[in-house]
C-alpha cells in the first residue's frame, strides 16, 4: 500500500496511472479535492482504496494506522509567481516536515518532490551534491521553500529508512490541463495553435540568449514517474537529493517547433515580452546533472523532446484524453 500526496494533480495522477498499469491499486490518495474540482478528471477511471483531504491527512493517518510500503509526497504549492512566504512555509515546508516525521517514526520509505528551481540562476551549477543545498539562492518563494526543506533534511539525524528528494526540472505531459498559466509551453502552444494557428513565446530579456533560445531541461512525465517507482522499489540506492531531468537542455523554440510538427502544422512563432512579475526571476538555462542517479543504477533512456512531445500531443492533447 502506497500513500500519494498531490494525487489529483499533474504528476501525482500520472504516478497513479503508472502504478495502476503495474497492478498497484492499494493506494491512499491525498489532495485538496474540495477546493480544486478542476483536477477531478485526472483521477477518472483510476483504481485506489480511498481519498483523504490534505488538511485531514495526519488525523486520518493516526486513526487508520495504514501499513504503508512507501510514501510519495508530491503535493505542494507550485506557483512560481506567488509571493507569500507564509503560504509556502505552511504548505511546502512545515507540512512536508510532518510527513517526514511520520515516515521516520513509522519507518516508511519516503520520496518527496524538490525542484530544479532550487538552483536559481545556476551560478553554482546543477549538480545534485547534498552539500550544495546550503549555498543555493533560488529566485522565488517556491524554490526557496523547496530548498529550505532540502537543507532541513540534511541536518536530520533521525530519518526514514530510505528517502529521496527529487529535484524535478521542467516536467510536461498529460493531466496538466487544470494548471492554467503554470501548464507547460507544449500545452499552451497546442491551445494557441488550435485557436489562432500560431504561437507567441516569451522574448529574451537577457543579451546572452536570442529570443526563443532560453534553454531548459524538459522531462516527459512518463519518464519522471518511472524513476519515482524505480527508486521506491530499488531501496538500496543511497539516500539524499537527486536531480530528475534528462541531462540535456533544449530551447523553447525547439519545444514549440516540436509541438507544431506533432500537430502536422507549419511553425508560426513570434515573441512577446516576458510578464514583468516573473521577468527578474526567470531561469534562462537549466540542465540536470544526472550522474548521481545513473551511479545509483538507473540505466533506462529518457525520451527525446521530440518523442515526448509527439506522444503527448497525438495521444492526449489531440484526443482530449487523460492518462
Active site residues: 142, 179
Helix (H, G, I), strand (E, B) or coil at 102: helix
Q: Which residues of 252-279 are buried (b: 16+ CB within 10 A; e: fewer)?
A: bbbbbbbbbebbeeebebebeebeeeee
- Nearby residues of 35 by Cβ (< 8 Å), 6 or more positions away: none
319 closest CA partner among 174, 165, 154, 149: 174
Long-range contacts of 100-104 (CB under 8 A, 24+ apart): 100/153, 100/156, 100/159, 100/160, 100/163, 102/58, 102/61, 102/71, 103/71, 103/160, 103/163, 104/156, 104/158, 104/159, 104/160
Q: Name the H helices within the chain.
A: 10-21, 57-64, 85-88, 95-106, 141-153, 185-196, 221-233, 252-262, 276-279, 291-296, 305-311
Amino acid at each position: 500500500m502506497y500513500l500519494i500526496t498531490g494525487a489529483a494533480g499533474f504528476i501525482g495522477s500520472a504516478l497513479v496511472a503508472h502504478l495502476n498499469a503495474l497492478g498497484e491499486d492499494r493506494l491512499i490518495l491525498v489532495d485538496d479535492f474540495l477546493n480544486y474540482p478542476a483536477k477531478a478528471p485526472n483521477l477518472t477511471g483510476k483504481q485506489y482504496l480511498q481519498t483523504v483531504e490534505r488538511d485531514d491527512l495526519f488525523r486520518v493517518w493516526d486513526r487508520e494506522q495504514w501499513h504503508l510500503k512507501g510514501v510519495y509526497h508530491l503535493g505542494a504549492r507550485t506557483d512560481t509567481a506567488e509571493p507569500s512566504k507564509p503560504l509556502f512555509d505552511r504548505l511546502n515546508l512545515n507540512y512536508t516536515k510532518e510527513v517526514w516525521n511520520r515516515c521516520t517514526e513509522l519507518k516508511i520509505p519516503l520520496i518527496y518532490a524538490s525542484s530544479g528551481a532550487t538552483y536559481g540562476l545556476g551560478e553554482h551549477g546543477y549538480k545534485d551534491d547534498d552539500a550544495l543545498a546550503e549555498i543555493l539562492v533560488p529566485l522565488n518563494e517556491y524554490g526557496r521553500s523547496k530548498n529550505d526543506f532540502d537543507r532541513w533534511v540534511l541536518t536530520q539525524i533521525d530519518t526514514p529508512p530510505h528517502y529521496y528528494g527529487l529535484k524535478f526540472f521542467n516536467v510536461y505531459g498529460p493531466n496538466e490541463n487544470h494548471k492554467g498559466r503554470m501548464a507547460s509551453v507544449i500545452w499552451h502552444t497546442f491551445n494557441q495553435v488550435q485557436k489562432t494557428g500560431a504561437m507567441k513565446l516569451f522574448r529574451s530579456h537577457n543579451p546572452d540568449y536570442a529570443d526563443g533560445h532560453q534553454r531548459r531541461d524538459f522531462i516527459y512525465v512518463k519518464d519522471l514517474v518511472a524513476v519515482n517507482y524505480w527508486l521506491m522499489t530499488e531501496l538500496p540506492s543511497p539516500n539524499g537529493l537527486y536531480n530528475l531531468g534528462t541531462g540535456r537542455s533544449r530551447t523553447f523554440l525547439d519545444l514549440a517547433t516540436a509541438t507544431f510538427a506533432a500537430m502536422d502544422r507549419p511553425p508560426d512563432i513570434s515573441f512577446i515580452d516576458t510578464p514583468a512579475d516573473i521577468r527578474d526571476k526567470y531561469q534562462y538555462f537549466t540542465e540536470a546533472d544526472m550522474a548521481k542517479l545513473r551511479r545509483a543504477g538507473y540505466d533506462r533512456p529518457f525520451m527525446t523532446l521530440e518523442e515526448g512531445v509527439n506522444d503527448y500531443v497525438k495521444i492526449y492533447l489531440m484526443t482530449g484524453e487523460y492518462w
